[in-house]
A = this chain, B = another copy of it.
Amino acid sequence: MVDLILAGSSSIMLAVDVARRMGLDAIIPVVRKFPDGEIYVRITKAVEDKSVAVIHTLGGNPNDLLIEYLLVVKTLKDLGAKEVIAVIPYLAYARQDARFKEGEAVSARIIAELIESAGTSKVLTIDAHLHRIESIDKLFNIKALNVSAVPELAKYIAKNYSLRNPIVVGPDEESEQWAKVAAKVLNTDYIVLEKKRLGDEEVIIESSVDIVKNRDVVIVDDIISTGGTMVETIHKLKEANAGKILVSCIHPVLSANALNKILLAGAYDIVATDTIQSPVSKVTVSPVIAENLPKL
């Protein structure tokens, strides 16, 4: 049972909305960044013996946001909170979940430990980027639940875009899980491409995509980071004479002018959720959080 929602500074409007949906009070902490880069946190509401859900994404400036999160949770515990539940719409550092080369920091595990050892009891994530890990339970030693916002994303697309004989495209094998769900909501079929990563950005796509000819396409992925995968996918679809290409994702990380690159490649529009704030965050994950938080 969650008693209070604490609004982390990176998800403040989302947290206020979740609190309203759930009929709970929202704690707005005082958070300042000093000129020397240090973060100041103050919690002005009574939290003793309360179960507090901290809604706080880690996308944008992950290190600043992690330190803010750790300061918040340790202070909540110090002030007597009974339980702290982390709601992390975008879990940063999830990629490096194994030691690919000798000597690497396994940062996914290290960040999970930091979150746990600060005093977090349970964690709720949205479409966490788990490749080699079957389930979020394997990453955290505390109770963890990973839920999907793809149905919300797909419902928004169905309602707001008039698409001609649409087909859903997942840009790589990992995206099949999201493409399948989106296709079901959009009541259509889907295909999944194959990708090879060359260095940090480049990708080569090897599948046949003839099926997209003259059909509008909805590309669905979990994350848009540099946009490289989306650009290659769009080029491939255009070669195959696809119709309008709508690009969608859950997490708009959008580094390195990804929007410019994707639009320049020929996307009709770009749609994402507010797990990270961005100019394309048109779909809120607020109902997904409000529905799943009581299940933890």
Total count of chain A residues near the partner, CB < 8 A:
74
State the CA gap A104–B32 with chains docked (Å): 12
Bound Cα distance A16, B135 (Å): 39
Question: Are B260 and A30 touching (Cβ within 8 A)?
Answer: yes
Name the interface residues of A53-74: CB closer than 8 Å to any CB of B: 59-64, 66-67, 70-72, 74
**A42 to chain B: which residues have CB within 8 Å?**
101, 103-105
- For the complex, is A243 an interface residue (Cβ under 8 Å from B)? no
Chain B residue with Cβ nearest A67: B63
Shortest CB distance A140–B (Å): 16
Q: Which residues on the B side are within 8 Å of A38 (C-beta)?
A: 62, 92-93, 95-96, 107
Residue A193 at the chain B interface, CB threshold 8 Å: no
Q: Are A260 and B9 in contact, with the CB atoms below 8 A?
A: yes
What is the distance, in angstroms, from A97's C-beta to the closest C-beta of chain B? 13
Is A241 located at the chain interface by the 8 A CB criterion?
no
Q: Are A263 and B28 within 8 A (Cβ)?
A: yes
| Interface mask (A76-111 → B, CB under 8 Å = 1, otherwise 0) | 001100000000000011011000011111110010
Is there a chain B Cβ closer than 8 Å to A185's Cβ? no
15 sample A-B contacts, Cβ–Cβ < 8 Å, listed by A number? A7-B260, A7-B263, A12-B263, A12-B279, A13-B259, A13-B280, A30-B260, A35-B226, A36-B62, A36-B92, A63-B67, A70-B110, A70-B114, A74-B110, A114-B114
17 extra interface residue pairs, beta carbon distance < 8 Å, beyond A35-B225, A37-B92, A63-B63: A9-B257, A9-B259, A16-B269, A29-B260, A30-B264, A32-B257, A33-B257, A36-B225, A36-B255, A40-B105, A41-B104, A43-B103, A43-B105, A70-B110, A74-B113, A75-B104, A75-B110
